[in-house]
Amino acid sequence: MAAPQTLANRLVDGFGREHTYLRISVTDRCNLRCTYCMPVEGLAWKKRQELLTFEEIERVAAIFIEMGVTKIRLTGGEPMVRKDLPLLIRGLGRMDGLKTLAMTTNATLLAGHVEDLYASGLSQLNISLDSFKPERFSAIARQDVKVFDAVMAGIDGALKQNFASVKINVVVMSGVNDDEILDFVEFAAKNRVNVRFIEYMPFKDNQWTNEKVVTYKDMLALIGEHYQLRKLEDDRSAVGKDYAIEGGIGTVSFISSMSDSFCSTCNRLRLTADGQVKSCLFYPAETNLRDAMRLGATDSTLQGMILDSLRMKPEAHPPAEEIAANDNRAMIEIGG
Ligand code: SAM
Ligand code: SF4
Reported as a single tens digit per residue, the pLDDT across 245-304 is 999 999 999 999 888 888 899 999 999 999 999 999 888 899 999 999 999 999 999 999
Q: Are 190 and 24 in contact (CB under 8 A)?
A: no
11 domain-assigned: no
14 domain-assigned: no
Per-residue pLDDT at 238 exceeds 90? no
Q: Are 5 and 306 in contact (CB under 8 A)?
A: no
Domain that holds residue 33: 21-334
Question: What pLDDT sits at residue 323?
Answer: 78
159 domain-assigned: yes
Residues 6+ apart with CB under 8 A from 146: none
Question: What pLDDT sits at residue 5?
Answer: 66
Identify which ligand lies nearest to the alpha carbon of 38. 2
| CB 203 near ligand 1, within 6 Å | yes
How far does residue 34's CA lie from ligand 1's centre (Å)? 8
Q: What is the mean pLDDT of the chain?
A: 93
Q: What letter represents residue 100's amino acid?
A: T
How far does residue 235's CA lie from ligand 2's centre (Å)? 27
Identify which ligand lies nearest to the alpha carbon of 102. 1
Per-residue pLDDT at 233 exceeds 90? no
Give percent of the chain with pLDDT exceeding 90. Answer: 80
| CB 77 near ligand 2, within 6 Å | yes
Question: What pLDDT sits at residue 262?
Answer: 83
306 domain-assigned: yes
Question: What pLDDT sits at residue 277?
Answer: 97
String of DSSP letters for 13-24: -TTS-B--EEEE
The closest-lying atom of ligand 2 relative to the alpha carbon of residue 37 is 3
6 domain-assigned: no
Question: What pLDDT sits at residue 290?
Answer: 98
The closest-lying atom of ligand 2 relative to the alpha carbon of residue 108 is 7
| Per-residue pLDDT band at 237 (split at 50, 70, 90) | low
Identify which ligand lies nearest to the alpha carbon of 140. 2
Question: What pLDDT sits at residue 324?
Answer: 72
How far does residue 298's CA lie from ligand 1's centre (Å)? 33
| CB 201 near ligand 2, within 6 Å | no
**Would you give the end-to-end CA distance of the chain in angstroms?**
29
Residue nearest atom 2 of ligand 1, based on CA coordinates: 105
Per-residue pLDDT at 328 exceeds 80? no
240 domain-assigned: yes
**Residue 319 belongs to a domain with what CATH number?**
3.20.20.70
| Per-residue pLDDT band at 46 (split at 50, 70, 90) | very high
Question: What pLDDT sits at residue 104?
Answer: 98
How far does residue 332's CA lie from ligand 2's centre (Å)? 6
Q: How many domains does the chain have?
A: 1
Question: What pLDDT sits at residue 107?
Answer: 98
Q: How many CB atoms lie within 10 A of CB 303?
A: 20
How far does residue 80's CA lie from ligand 2's centre (Å)? 11
Question: What pLDDT sits at residue 235?
Answer: 66
Q: In this predicted model, which residue has the larger pLDDT, 240 or 259?
A: 259
Q: Are 240 and 252 in contact (CB under 8 A)?
A: no
Identify which ligand lies nearest to the alpha carbon of 80. 1
The closest-lying atom of ligand 1 relative to the alpha carbon of residue 76 is 7
Question: What pLDDT sits at residue 130?
Answer: 98
The closest-lying atom of ligand 1 relative to the alpha carbon of residue 257 is 25
How far does residue 10's CA lie from ligand 2's centre (Å)? 32
Lowest mean pLDDT among 151-165, 238-252, 301-315: 238-252
Q: Where are the beta strands (DSSP E) in 185-279?
A: 194-199, 229-231, 240-245, 251-255, 268-271, 276-278
Handedness of CA 316, 319, 321, 325 (dihedral sign): negative
Question: What pLDDT sits at residue 3?
Answer: 55
| CB 140 near ligand 2, within 6 Å | no
Residue nearest atom 12 of ligand 1, based on CA coordinates: 336
